[in-house]
Amino acid sequence: MSDDASIGLDVQPTEALPLDAWHRARGGRMVEFAGYWLPIQYDGIIAEHLWTRESAGLFDVSHMGQLQVSGPNAAAELEKILPGDVIGLKAGKVRYSLLLDENGGILDDLMVTNAGDHLFLIVNGACKWDDIAHLREFLPDEIHLHYQDEHALLALQGPKAVDALARLGLVPAAEGAPAVEGLRFMEAAPYLWGERPLGISRSGYTGEDGFEISVHADDAEALADALTAQPEVKPIGLGARDSLRLEAGLPLYGHDLHPGVSVIAAGLGFAVSKRRRTEGGFLGDARVMAELLGAPAQVRVGLTLDGRLPAREGAAIHAGETQVGTVTSGGFAPSIGAPIAMGWVDAAHAATGTPLTIEVRGKHLTAKVAAMPFVPHRYVRRGATT
């Protein structure tokens, strides 16, 4: 799912996260984001970005919301809100989904895990309180919704993440669960690190192999120390997290996604499971099902730019003299060595290879529509060799 890391959000911090002092002690440059202080960088965004692509980076994403949903028929009730197949989600499996309003607009994107005795949701930090209110409004009273504010969330990302994590000697805490290196993309299980319980999924939002680790706040610093003691691992800030997800073609809620846009136009139709496409029965289903049969007026696309000057959010996209879209995310791509962007354009100009221009600082930069991801995903999937 997307985390909502971005630069320059004007919010006031309300509390320090469990690793606040840990970041500061390691030279993290802290910024105000989503009501918290979070590190934007340590050694520099480009260096941290490339380290994650080549080795393993540790991200603190504890600002995100970790929610437990439980009670009678919890999966069926959640299906009335989410467009994915929750009932058919097997224990230990993770699914990307979306929170929609009654008009089919996107309120948030999220991850849902079948944790056996409950469903576990991870939602974006900047809108978690609105998400909780929305869920509480539409879930019946007998469904219990618990916000795990006593937990931190760490993301260990990169091709060597599995080596570093496996070295900690984690023990599966559920019958039939694999060793942590035996997890595959979008699978999850509980583990014990000594006597400390961890909830681990093989997932993330960088396009790399990696893991997200839910850990009690009291144990977060010890875990962060143990991971960064591994030679493959360095702490990484939100700046590199943003450039990594952009290269991976992954949308950022609040920028590329918002209530004014729809699932199909956003290129997220895979989140609407096959059965739900036929049955409907979720909030906003009329718009989603209509767009499955038609063509949205605007769609989300990737863009490559000539030269070195990046386009930022809000830049106008033109075809000739006519504005046909707007950049929603953009920046320099360290793995590519060139600027890239993501934006919404009129469907008539959305084909891969379409030449466009982007207005930046009074100049019209040459650009073209590009296939996403810009950098291939390197997830370790079930059935793949490693």
Residue 105 lies in a domain: no
Cβ atoms of residues 347 and 335 within 8 Å? no
Residue 315 lies in a domain: yes
Q: What is the pLDDT along the chain (386 residues), one digit of tens a residue?
A: 444 433 333 444 468 999 999 999 999 999 998 899 999 999 999 999 999 999 999 999 999 999 999 999 999 999 999 999 999 999 999 999 999 999 999 999 999 999 999 999 999 999 999 999 999 999 999 999 999 999 999 999 999 999 999 999 999 999 999 999 999 999 999 999 999 999 999 999 999 999 999 999 999 999 999 999 999 999 999 999 999 999 999 999 999 999 999 999 999 999 999 999 999 999 999 999 999 998 899 999 999 999 999 999 999 999 999 999 999 999 999 999 999 999 999 999 999 999 999 999 999 999 999 999 999 999 999 876 54
Residues 173 and 237 grouped into a single domain: yes
Residues 186 and 321 grouped into a single domain: no
Best CA proximity match to 29, nearest among 18, 39, 43, 17? 39
Cβ atoms of residues 357 and 366 within 8 Å? yes
Residues 155 and 52 grouped into a single domain: yes
- Domain of residue 57 covers 20-62+149-247
Three-point CA angle 352, 355, 361, nearest 5°: 120
Residue pLDDT, tens place only, 81-120: 999 999 999 999 999 999 999 999 999 999 999 999 999 9
Residues 36 and 154 grouped into a single domain: yes
Q: What's the CATH number where 323 sits?
A: 2.40.30.110
Residue 180 lies in a domain: yes
The residue whose two tokens read 């046909």 is 324
Q: What's the CATH number where 238 sits?
A: 3.30.1360.120
Residue 119 token pair: 């469903």
Residues 306 and 380 grouped into a single domain: yes
Best CA proximity match to 235, nearest among 16, 37, 25? 25
Residue 69 lies in a domain: no
Alpha helix segments (H runs only) across 154-268: 161-166, 217-228, 238-247
Count of helix runs (H) and strand runs (E) in the chain: 9, 20
Residues 51 and 153 grouped into a single domain: yes
C-alpha distances out from residue 246 to 92, 130, 331, 364, Å? 28, 25, 8, 22
The residue whose two tokens read 């609040």 is 254
State which of 247, 278, 307 marks the end of a domain.
Answer: 247
Residue 259 lies in a domain: no
Cβ atoms of residues 54 and 33 within 8 Å? no
Residues 153 and 239 grouped into a single domain: yes
Residues 55 and 153 grouped into a single domain: yes
Whole-number pLDDT of residue 14: 63
Residue 256 token pair: 């590329």
Residues 215 and 317 grouped into a single domain: no
Per 3-state DSSP, the chain is made up of helix, strand and coil in percentages (nearest 5) of: 25, 35, 45
Residue 32 lies in a domain: yes
Residue 115 token pair: 């944790």
The whole-angstrom separation of Cα 190 and Cα 318 is 50
DSSP 128: H
pTM of the model: 0.94
Residue 205 lies in a domain: yes
The whole-angstrom separation of Cα 96 and Cα 250 is 12
State which of 211, 230, 247 marks the end of a domain.
Answer: 247
DSSP 357: E
Residue 116 lies in a domain: no
Query: C-alpha 384: how far from its chain's center?
Result: 23
Residues 235 and 161 grouped into a single domain: yes
Residues 47 and 196 grouped into a single domain: yes
Whole-number pLDDT of residue 384: 62
Coil, helix or strand for 12?
Answer: coil
Coil, helix or strand for 270?
Answer: helix
Best CA proximity match to 28, nearest among 18, 15, 38, 13? 38
State which of 206, 231, 247 marks the end of a domain.
Answer: 247
Residues 185 and 243 grouped into a single domain: yes
Bridge-based pairing of strands 338-346 and 298-305 is antiparallel
The whole-angstrom separation of Cα 265 and Cα 288 is 9
Phi, psi (degrees; rounded to nearest 5) at 164 = -65, -45
- Structurally, the chain folds into a number of domains equal to 2
